[in-house]
């Protein structure tokens, strides 16, 4: 039994060690990296599509997309203007890990970018447990998912730095108790930075991109 526990610890340590290596590599190259997480369909790729055109001329951006299958998301990121878009197909894995990001970094000339957006596998559970080495964890929640998600997925909601609340254009058509949602967030993560927005209408997207540009500038100043 002690032997089996040791194996599990080694796996976790390996991921954390590789995540630290990824971080060092990004820091050395001056690339700010974000880990974008969400349920399937909350709007990670749509957010990237809305974000990239607003960063043109301000930041050089690479996108790494993690999915079980297909390159649909990387195709969309490339079409939206990413200077580089890399798709990781995890096979069956329900999250990205530091090894996968390392492999993607190997395919990028980091000197050419200011910002790396890593789009994790759509999943509100597993990605929260695997550090990648990124600087900022961003969760995309969405109105149609329902107001109870912070209460039911505390691991994800408590561990992120930024909360994007997407699809606010659907508020008139859905019973979403904003107070109940905010209460769940407040208990778990009172310092999270929140951006309500709609990737469909564009409402609120510039608050997010303006903040992001500022955040990268702060990082670049060291």
Q: Are 177 and 208 in contact (CB under 8 A)?
A: no
Minimum distance between the CB of residue 41 and a copy of itself, rounded to whole angstroms? 3
List of residues 6+ apart from 165 with CB closer than 8 A: 141, 142, 143, 181, 194, 195, 196, 197
Please list the residues that pair with 66 across neighbouring strands.
88
Query: Count of residues binding a copy of itself (CB under 8 A)?
Result: 39
Nearer to a copy of itself, 122 or 196 (CB): 122
Cα dihedral 89, 138, 135, 18 sign: negative
Task: Point out which span in 25-33, 97-105, 111-119, 167-175 binds a copy of itself (CB under 8 A).
Answer: 167-175
Query: What separation, in Å, do the N-terminal and C-terminal C-alpha atoms of the chain show?
Result: 46
**Identified binder of a copy of itself from the candidate list 70, 103, 107, 218, rule CB under 8 A:** 70
Q: Indicate if the alpha-carbon torsion angle 50, 125, 75, 64 is positive or negative.
A: positive
Tell me, residue by residue from 26 to 65, as one string, x for binding to a copy of itself by CB under 8 A and - for no binding.
-------------xxx------------------------
SS3 assignment, position 153: coil
Stretch of 17-25, 110-118, 145-153, 207-215 contacting a copy of itself, by CB under 8 A: 145-153
List residues near a copy of itself by CB under 8 A.
4, 7, 39-41, 67-70, 72-73, 92-94, 121-126, 129, 142, 144-146, 148-149, 151-155, 167, 169-170, 173-175, 200
């Amino acid at each position: 039994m002690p032997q089996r526990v040791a194996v599990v610890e080694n796996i976790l340590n390996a991921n954390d060690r590789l995540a630290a290596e990824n971080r060092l590599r990004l820091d050395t190259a001056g690339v700010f990296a974000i880990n974008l997480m969400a349920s399937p369909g909350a709007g990670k790729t749509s957010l990237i599509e809305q974000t990239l055109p607003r960063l043109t001329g301000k930041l050089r951006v690479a996108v790494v997309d993690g999915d079980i299958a297909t390159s649909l998301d990387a195709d969309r990121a490339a079409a939206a203007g990413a200077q580089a878009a890399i798709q990781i197909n995890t096979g069956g894995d329900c999250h990205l890990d530091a090894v996968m990001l390392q492999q993607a970094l190997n395919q990028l000339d980091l000197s050419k970018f200011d910002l790396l957006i890593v789009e994790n596998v759509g999943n509100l559970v597993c990605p929260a447990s695997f550090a990648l080495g990124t600087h900022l964890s961003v969760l995309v929640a969405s109105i149609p998912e329902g107001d109870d998600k912070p209460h039911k997925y505390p691991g994800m909601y408590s561990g992120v730095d930024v909360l994007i609340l997407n699809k606010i254009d659907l508020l008139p058509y859905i019973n979403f108790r904003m107070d109940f949602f905010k209460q769940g967030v407040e208990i778990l993560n009172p310092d999270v930075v929140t951006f309500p927005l709609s990737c469909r209408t564009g409402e609120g997207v510039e608050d997010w991109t303006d903040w992001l540009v500022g955040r990268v500038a702060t990082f670049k100043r060291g």
